[in-house]
Amino acid sequence: MSLVLTLPVSGYSEENRYFFHQKGFSICLPDNWKALDSNDFVIFTARHPDNNVIDISVSLNHRTEPPTLDQWMETTLSVYKKYPQFKGIEDKGETTIDTIKSKWFTCFIDDTKQMRQVLINNHVVYEITCKAKREAFETYYATFVDILQTIELHEIEY
């Protein structure tokens, strides 16, 4: 399957690395993924042979005075808990993305399982959400982690 890429605002690719200079990051994607770029976020999706659609979204929130990572995660979790479809936090922890400390949690919303990661770099809060059907999430977890490990952060070009 070939990659279909729609990047109207800020992205371009070299081989399988996609650059979003106006968003301050690049990422490597497998061949069967496609990207949709919007003003404040990018969504990457793939349809797999088992007919599951999985996605990763990266949203940006520019701050003149960014909160701490703990403050942002606390706010994010409180927003999630207000959704009527929210079914609870399964797990949470810390990791790094391109040497920047990141916090994450996994949760259930309706019939999907999500892994939400947050990191703050140069006054920009990056929220990365990996999502799949609840029963398929574990099958694609390694793919999500492999893709997230390819993220490189850059200075945002205005």
Contact in structure between 37 and 10 (CB atoms under 8 Å): yes
Residue range 4-45, pLDDT digits in tens: 333 334 567 777 888 888 889 999 988 888 888 887 789 999
Kindly list the domain boundaries of the chain, sorted by start residue. 5-153
DSSP assignment string, 51-120: S-EEEEEEEEEE-SSPPPHHHHHHHHHHHHHH-TTEEEEEEEEEEEETTEEEEEEEEEETTEEEEEEEEE
Mean predicted lDDT score pLDDT of the chain: 86
The pLDDT tens digits of the residues spanning 96-120 come to 999 999 999 999 998 899 999 999 9
Banded pLDDT at 141 (limits 50, 70, 90) = very high
Q: In degrees to the nearest 10, what's the CA dihedral of 71, 74, 20, 17? A: 120
Global pTM value: 0.86
Tell me the CATH number of domain 5-153, given options 3.40.50.12500, 3.30.465.10, 3.40.1000.10, 3.40.50.280.
3.40.1000.10
